[in-house]
Structure 1
Amino acid sequence: MVHSYLKKSAMLLSLAAAVAVAEEVQADQATNPQSTAGQETVSPALPQAEMPETPDPLLQAPAEAAQGQDNGGLAIEEKAPEATVLSNPIQEEPVKPPVEGQRVDMRILATTDLHTNLVNYDYYQDMQVETLGLAKTAVLMEEAIAENSNVVIVDSGDTIQGTPLGTYKAIVDPVKEGEEHPMFAAFKELNYDGAALGNHEFNYGLDYLRRVVASSKVPLLNANVLDAQTKEHLFTPYVIVPKTFKDSEGQLVTVQVGLTGIVPPQIMNWDRGHLEGKVIALDAVQAVTDLVPQMRKAGADVVVVMSHSGIGDDTYLVGEENIGYQLAGIPGVDAVATGHSHANFPSGTGTGFYSKIKGVDDTNGKINGIPVTMAGKYGDHLGIMDLKLHYTNGAWQVEESGAVLRKIDTKSSKADERVLNLAKEVHEATIRYVRQEVGQTPSPIHSYFSLVQDDPSVQIVNQAQLWYAKQVLAGTEEANLPLLSAAAPFKAGARNDPNSYTDIKAGPLAIKNVADLYVYDNVVALLKINGAQLKEWLEMAAGQFNQVDPTKKEPQNMINTSFRTYNFDVIDGVTYELDITQPNKYSIGAELVNPTASRVRNLRYQGKEVTDDQIFMVVTNNYRASGPFPGVKDAQESRLLNLQNRQALIDYIVSEKTIDARPNHNWSFADTIKDLDLRFLTSLKAQEHLASNPAISFVGISDTVEGFGEFRYQYSPLPEPEQPVQPEQPTKPEQPSQPTNPASPNQPVTSVQPLTPTKPNRSLDGQESQVLANQPSRASKVQESSLLAVQSSSSKGTLPNTGTKDSIWMSFGLALLALLPAGLGKRKQK
């Protein structure tokens, strides 16, 4: 009785609160107010774009129209849009107009590339960590605000994808209309003034992104993505935020801060399936150059660019990916918060990666005289830019500026309670999701040596892709063609991160382990190529290695650390050797640099030499299929399938129950490196696996990269390569049957859900070559299941205990759920 009464009371209170919120939202529609007292937002009036379907509130753009295109960029007519200004809240102290000679110390706090690392938790290892998370960065924010409260807080993008939490809110329990994404809810809680859209914001498609942007209480900005039909901005290009600061005398004064953001135009390659025909991406430098005068005309005293683009260098090509350097040279731009490259700037010592570029002050954090930051990744750093403003000749001028990076405290467990409490529900739901068991492995699976020898973490992905593709091709005319699979080591210490490795112990395999093996939300793709194209594909992948001197007896570094490990494709189904005493045929950017060079030797299929005209089917992912890889871009046929690569891996493990991921040694180095002293760096944790890898020995702790060790690779002939695991071909064409739960064979496993494609069998030929960058991805719509939409407690508190007791009770609960009728409580698919 009491319980019923309390429940009804709570419902009434919730209804009242909902009405109040609805009235507030209606009153503040299309304004995006900030929560900081004394602050108001000015944004361009955005007329509704003409769309072929139901109007979307996100598809709004300023009145300027595109006036033509040049080398991929559109010139936008300089026409200042009308502005909407919020009413100024009542101040405890009067805010006076600026006067001649007045001075203000302004501080910009910048984050970037958070990739849904909302709290300090590693979902792959299922444990709390102190090396990442917005909850840790927020501690630095509070310290910086205590030093100077005149702050503007911004983020440079790649926010909603990157961990199982991002996958959970996009695929398992997707953000619904009006629901605020937890990352942007945290931004609001921390009083962010604006955020840019990064390339990974587009991974889940435009419909999902529209929902996320529409519900965000923080302005999400982009200046260089336009609607393909109307040529108007697809998202809000800029806002002007009136900030109430204290001047040097303690008097309140308003400074109008203009914010805008950009994304690399390469999104048209990376998420082509989602974007082609729907949007166009301008050259980012041109877009900002055209927009800044409009922002100044609309009243911006200070202009800050949130650049989801790396710093690059002092050479500029229209349409290139990393242009932070050029943005810092645009007249009217006062500060640039960069990102995308997961790097750090400034170093503060003058010895950082960008320090040798002309115009870069790596000590004081300035490029072309403008303060610039790049705050690492996953919340591990906070960028701080300080601007000393002087009101002179009727305008605010930047008299002095500089920037620093601050690293989170990795030795302390201190984290921001506001973020932890806000994240509690989705965090707990994500943990329950990733702990769902799908199979067993009798041996460890790790990626510590994945760059120097055939590797279990890549082997298992290739096995799963072959298993799935066999079923897809059964009964088709391609079923009798040789089937190959391409996969790469996604976690192999990229960007000097000793924790960026797959490390799975022998025993149960859960979804968290599968996510650790396949960290991107890619979709399976099938290519038809010939033997000549296959060889060029492998020549490109061989760029992972430096050219070594066969006559040199001194130690030589064998790994090209500038080459992204996710581009080191290992192709199973054939055998081959790599001769790294030869030069690379292709550059990191897939450009032909040594036409006569060849590293690939003894390329064979079933023991016979591969001929140039031999036809193969190769299963890979949408990122590779739509990219500029030699051989791949010239494929005779290319189509997307109806499943994420990660889901194919889950289905394979569930089907096999116990999987054998031992490498089959289908690739190796040629004997030209025999007796050479070859070295490489990997995590110090790799020492635990030396006993089972006799070709590798430990040299010592690296004195250049923290957390890494130096290891020696000693060439020795490998045993005859084993043929890769390839399941028998089904006798008739059919869709892959839904795997069953090993614990209850008559019931489907709750974690396995087939994904349906947004555009099946889509041709990806004719893709223009672009420089490869951070691994993009693509997600598809998923059929929702009430068994996966785990209900979570909404009560606030600290991060949950994630020990074995929770797992036991969760397993018991899942076993009970598995007994429910398969169709019980299924949600209507949207």
Structure 2
Amino acid sequence: MFKFKRNQKSLVFTLVFLLVFSFASFIFAADTGEVHITILGTADLHGHIMNYDYYGIRTYTQGFAIVSTMVKEVREENPNTLLIDAGDLIQGTPLTYYYGKMMKPDKDYPMTYIMGIMNYTAGTVGNHEFNYGLDTLQKVIDTAKFPILSANVVKESDGSLVFTPYTIVDVEGVKVGILGLTTQSCTASDIRGLKILHPVETAEKYVKILKEEENCNLIIITAHFGLDPDKRAGNYARPIAQDVVGVDGILTGHDHSTIDVEEMGPTGYTVPILMPYKWGRALARFDFYLKNIDGKWVVERDKTEQQIYDFKKDPVEPDEEILMAGKKYHEATLEYTGTIIGTTTADFKEGYSDEIKGISQGKLQDTPLINLVNQFQLKYAKADISLAAEFAATANIKKGDITINDISSIYIYENYLFGIRITGAELKKLLEYEVRFYRQLKDGDATVAFDDSIPGYNYDMFKGVSFDIDLSKPAPQNADELASGKQFRIFNLKKMGNRLMMM
């Protein structure tokens, strides 16, 4: 009886203490008139939950399990922390293929389930969200405990919105508006019946709504596109920061890059823009301070901070809670990818050059694996010529049984095989475009050099034609030069030993 009474008193005391403490905290916030809001952002997770490489069969420092550790640390530092994502969640690993294509999403779809545990505030629709079809995407969205946003994807038939355009969160009386935007660079067959509106025009429309109609004090855009204008890639973050009045920060994705810049906005203050690389290898952080002036919350621009946590440079331990939550999905994926689908009597191996540091052997000479890919493409496209990029320089199919994982390691993103008709002249232009990858040789150069500004996946290996490359000559610098018909680097272009007509 005594014990019960003592616990009862303790409980009353605890409740009183909490109420007093909470009230004191409220008075303190009211006295200072300032609120500190941290916004954390991820992008291009592409199905990476665990700190595990399904292709290299190893653990490494990336994925939700790694991100979650830092998110928890920041929330300890500042409870007023929101977590948002900039898209490309549901495609990109064997895990997302298995649950998106083979199993179809259910109420516990892996990515949104884990994000729910991590308490995400909002996500964004990326171009790869459309890869498994609109029905699958809608099922994924239905499983989420947070809104997945896009203000510029509409139905082609009537212009109505397909997704929720924005969400608003109250943080200690501050209204935070979060607007989602999607790149226009989407595979046409994936978005049949839909239209993706211009991101800058859409941002202007909805930021004005958030500011004037919703009375938001802080406006963040989470955008699945990169920094600089590019029609092909659909990048518009910089123009939005420069031209759209009322934007306070932009989280970007799509380009799989690390971007940490500020851009001068149209009303004289800088807008922070962050892109946290890919696959959960980094985490973006914005810190905003708002002061209550005459009953209105105003951003203190001189206090705004931004940074990116790079987990390769500064590793953290994975969050055990996320590892445990993702275990059943991970183990089911491993069982699927271990399925044997064939055998081989020899090794098919890629690798890096011994002569040129950082350059794969496939970009210098024929390799068995790229030859194998091109042979299959020739067969199934019923083509005369095949070209394929070396997406994984470390891919290796060993002699013996072939598993789904072996095939996945060659080309991590499932894609489409196309056959198109081209002329000899068009083929030559294509080859001239491809070999821009090589830098022009200068007197005294001992070996081949490569243009670092051109991604390796934009260089293809060909089968069915032969040609010579003269690296002493410059590459075409733009589309006009390429279309001019001038002789650049490619000569002796032949198919089956016969010179091709340039018509």
TM-score when scaled to structure 2? 0.86
* C-alpha deviation, 1:410, in angstroms: 7.3
* Alpha carbons of structure 1 residues 412 and 369: separation in structure 2 relative to 1, 3 Å: closer
Matches of 2:336 and 2:21 in 1, distance apart? Answer: 48
* Alpha carbons of structure 1 residues 298 and 119: separation in structure 2 relative to 1, 3 Å: same
* C-alpha deviation, 1:183, in angstroms: 0.8
Paired residue secondary structure (1:257):
strand
**Deviations 1:439-491, CA, capped at 9 Å, x for gaps:** 22512411432222223332121112223334xxxxxxxxxxx6222211113
Paired residue secondary structure (1:328):
helix
Q: Is the 8 A contact 1:344 1:375 kept in 2?
A: yes
> 1:776 matched to which residue of 2?
none
* C-alpha deviation, 1:523, in angstroms: 1.9
Q: Is the 8 A contact 1:225 1:280 kept in 2?
A: yes
* C-alpha deviation, 1:372, in angstroms: 2.4
Matches of 1:133 and 1:188 in 2, distance apart? Answer: 15
> 2:255 matched to which residue of 1?
341
Amino acid at match of 2:225: S
Among 254, 262, 266, the residue aligned to 2:173:
254
After TM superposition, the structure 1 = structure 2 runs for residues 593-672 of structure 1, keeping only pairs within 5 Å, are 595=484, 596-612=486-502
Amino acid at match of 2:45: L
Q: Is the 8 A contact 1:504 1:513 kept in 2?
A: yes
Correspondence 1:125 to 2:18: no
Matches of 1:556 and 1:445 in 2, distance apart? Answer: 24
> 1:279 matched to which residue of 2?
194
> 1:44 matched to which residue of 2?
none
Correspondence 1:327 to 2:255: no
> 2:225 matched to which residue of 1?
309
Q: Is the 8 A contact 2:87 2:123 kept in 1?
A: yes
* Alpha carbons of structure 1 residues 554 and 132: separation in structure 2 relative to 1, 3 Å: same
Paired residue secondary structure (2:363):
coil
> 1:136 matched to which residue of 2?
66
Paired residue secondary structure (2:471):
coil
Contiguous gaps of at least 5 residues in structure 2: 1-18, 352-359
* Alpha carbons of structure 1 residues 217 and 593: separation in structure 2 relative to 1, 3 Å: same
Matches of 1:591 and 1:291 in 2, distance apart? Answer: 38
Correspondence 1:241 to 2:169: yes
Amino acid at match of 1:388: Y
* Alpha carbons of structure 1 residues 309 and 431: separation in structure 2 relative to 1, 3 Å: same
Paired residue secondary structure (1:234):
coil
Cα-Cα RMSD:
2.8
Paired residue secondary structure (1:231):
coil
**Deviations 1:198-234, CA, capped at 9 Å, x for gaps:** 1111122222212211222111000111111111221
* Alpha carbons of structure 1 residues 125 and 317: separation in structure 2 relative to 1, 3 Å: closer
* Alpha carbons of structure 1 residues 521 and 534: separation in structure 2 relative to 1, 3 Å: same
Among 376, 384, 408, the residue aligned to 1:464:
376
Q: Is the 8 A contact 2:344 2:398 kept in 1?
A: no
* Alpha carbons of structure 1 residues 135 and 389: separation in structure 2 relative to 1, 3 Å: same
Correspondence 1:418 to 2:321: yes
Among 99, 105, 113, the residue aligned to 1:175:
105
Q: Is the 8 A contact 2:82 2:120 kept in 1?
A: yes
After TM superposition, the structure 1 = structure 2 runs for residues 86-235 of structure 1, keeping only pairs within 5 Å, are 93=22, 102-127=33-58, 129-176=59-106, 179-235=107-163
Q: Tell me the number of residue pairs that the alignment of Structure 1 and Structure 2 aligns.
A: 467
Among 230, 245, 266, the residue aligned to 2:185:
266
Q: Is the 8 A contact 1:126 1:431 kept in 2?
A: no
Q: Is the 8 A contact 1:546 1:580 kept in 2?
A: yes
Among 414, 428, 438, the residue aligned to 1:521:
414
Amino acid at match of 2:78: N
Q: Is the 8 A contact 1:197 1:263 kept in 2?
A: yes
After TM superposition, the structure 1 = structure 2 runs for residues 207-606 of structure 1, keeping only pairs within 5 Å, are 207-243=135-171, 253-267=172-186, 271-276=187-192, 278-296=193-211, 297-312=213-228, 321-329=234-242, 330-346=244-260, 369-399=270-300, 400-408=303-311, 414-437=317-340, 438-447=342-351, 448-470=360-382, 483-492=384-393, 501-549=394-442, 552-554=443-445, 558-585=449-476, 587=478, 592=481, 595=484, 596-606=486-496
* C-alpha deviation, 1:591, in angstroms: 6.0
* Alpha carbons of structure 1 residues 222 and 486: separation in structure 2 relative to 1, 3 Å: same
* C-alpha deviation, 1:156, in angstroms: 0.6
Matches of 1:318 and 1:517 in 2, distance apart? Answer: 29
**Deviations 1:397-451, CA, capped at 9 Å, x for gaps:** 1102010111226786821122212211111111111112222251241143222
Matches of 1:597 and 1:309 in 2, distance apart? Answer: 36
After TM superposition, the structure 1 = structure 2 runs for residues 57-72 of structure 1, keeping only pairs within 5 Å, are none
* Alpha carbons of structure 1 residues 114 and 441: separation in structure 2 relative to 1, 3 Å: farther
* Alpha carbons of structure 1 residues 186 and 91: separation in structure 2 relative to 1, 3 Å: farther
> 2:9 matched to which residue of 1?
none
Paired residue secondary structure (2:441):
coil
* C-alpha deviation, 1:182, in angstroms: 1.0
**Deviations 1:804-829, CA, capped at 9 Å, x for gaps:** xxxxxxxxxxxxxxxxxxxxxxxxxx
**Deviations 1:264-315, CA, capped at 9 Å, x for gaps:** 1121xxx111224x11111111111111111122132211110111122xxx
> 2:8 matched to which residue of 1?
none
Q: Is the 8 A contact 1:130 1:413 kept in 2?
A: no
Paired residue secondary structure (2:62):
coil
Matches of 1:318 and 1:534 in 2, distance apart? Answer: 23
Q: Is the 8 A contact 2:83 2:121 kept in 1?
A: yes
Amino acid at match of 1:343: S
**Deviations 1:598-620, CA, capped at 9 Å, x for gaps:** 3222111111111235xxxxxxx
> 2:6 matched to which residue of 1?
none
* C-alpha deviation, 1:565, in angstroms: 2.3
Amino acid at match of 1:234: V
* C-alpha deviation, 1:369, in angstroms: 1.2
Q: Is the 8 A contact 1:336 1:371 kept in 2?
A: yes
Matches of 1:92 and 1:119 in 2, distance apart? Answer: 39
After TM superposition, the structure 1 = structure 2 runs for residues 677-826 of structure 1, keeping only pairs within 5 Å, are none
Q: Is the 8 A contact 1:282 1:319 kept in 2?
A: no
Matches of 2:75 and 2:68 in 1, distance apart? Answer: 10
Matches of 1:324 and 1:219 in 2, distance apart? Answer: 21
Q: Is the 8 A contact 1:130 1:410 kept in 2?
A: no
* Alpha carbons of structure 1 residues 340 and 186: separation in structure 2 relative to 1, 3 Å: same
Q: Is the 8 A contact 2:347 2:398 kept in 1?
A: yes
Matches of 2:345 and 2:411 in 1, distance apart? Answer: 16
* C-alpha deviation, 1:508, in angstroms: 3.5
Matches of 2:345 and 2:477 in 1, distance apart? Answer: 37
Matches of 1:160 and 1:604 in 2, distance apart? Answer: 43
Amino acid at match of 1:154: I
TM-score when scaled to structure 1? 0.53
Q: Is the 8 A contact 2:230 2:236 kept in 1?
A: no
Matches of 2:231 and 2:466 in 1, distance apart? Answer: 41
Percent identity, aligned pairs only, is 30
* Alpha carbons of structure 1 residues 573 and 409: separation in structure 2 relative to 1, 3 Å: closer
**Deviations 1:322-367, CA, capped at 9 Å, x for gaps:** 2222222322111111111111133xxxxxxx69xx759xxxxxx9
